[in-house]
Amino acid sequence: MDEKTKVQIEIDVSKHPLHVDHPSCSKGHSLRCENVKINDYASIKVKAKYKENSGFIYIDPIYGSFDNIIEGMYVPDGEVIELFCPECNENLTAVDDTCQVCLSPMFLFHLPSQGIVEGCLKKGCMFHKLKIVDAEEQVARLFEERMLL
């Protein structure tokens, strides 16, 4: 590999990951977890419930990446879990949205400046959706970006 090729590869990698930095519940409690890093970024820590079992899940903050860590319980692939804010126990299930791939419920995290991130609650489904609302527009425009992996 010559110098030129190497440089191009480095640029590609650095501009690619889009990660969720400051997710919160609807009351503004931060879900950011500095203690557990996934792919070098602070993970998103939430309470998780599967049937009668509960534990924690550290969600991969990189959009479209799914190296999640489940702690304290076992969830088989294909099962749907529920997520809660660790601070106020708010159910983080999106009220009026379902996964476009498998029709399961989705979780919803709030972002600064009114954006939201949603993701499928079925383990192994890997569907993510990002909506960023630009508050500076007179009529709020909705940007929607979808990723299927």
Contacts with Zn ion by CB under 5 A lie at 25, 27, 29, 85, 87-88, 90, 99, 101-102, 104, 120, 122, 125, 127
CA dist 92 and 42 (Å) reads: 19
Give 67 or 134: the residue with its C-beta nearer to Zn ion.
67
Q: How far is the CB of 12 from Zn ion (least distance, A)?
A: 29
Give 87 or 97: the residue with its C-beta nearer to Zn ion.
87
Q: How far is the CB of 132 from Zn ion (least distance, A)?
A: 21
Give 10 or 148: the residue with its C-beta nearer to Zn ion.
148
139: tokens are 């009529």
CA dist 103 and 130 (Å) reads: 17
